[in-house]
């Protein structure tokens, strides 16, 4: 399925997935946001190439906001980092 309704390999629901990501160390959550933004950007590029301009624009906007969220999460990580023991 091109756009599945569930995350393959994840046993929980989407709320559980969000909590799992939110509970990660902030540098890892930051990285996740970046990877998600990258993938949304990839989809936007593909849709733009197919002439789906309105959809592509919304996906570009979404990716940009995810990149912004990644940057803010990085600031949170920099506050916490000196107090964190290396755990991965």
Residue found under tokens 């996740």: 32
| pLDDT tens, residue by residue, 26-42 | 999 999 999 999 999 99
Angle at 23 between CA 58 and CA 40, to 5 degrees: 20
pLDDT tens, residue by residue, 52-87:
999 999 999 999 999 999 999 999 999 999 998 765
Beta strands in the chain (DSSP E): none
Pairwise CA distance, residues 17 & 58, whole Å: 24
| Whole-number pLDDT of residue 85 | 78
Rounded CA separation 10/62 (Å) = 23
Tell whether pTM > 0.75.
yes
52 SS3 class: coil
Where do the domains of the chain lie?
A: 26-83
Longest dimension (CA), the chain: 49
């Amino acid at each position: 399925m091109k756009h599945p309704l569930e995350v393959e390999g994840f046993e929980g629901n989407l709320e559980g997935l969000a909590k799992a990501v939110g509970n990660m160390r902030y540098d890892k959550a930051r990285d996740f946001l970046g990877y998600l933004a990258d993938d949304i950007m990839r989809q936007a590029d593909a849709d733009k190439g197919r002439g789906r301009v309105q959809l592509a624009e919304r996906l570009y906007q979404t990716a940009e906001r995810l990149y912004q969220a990644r940057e803010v999460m990085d600031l949170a990580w920099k506050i916490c980092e000196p107090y964190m023991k290396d755990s991965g």
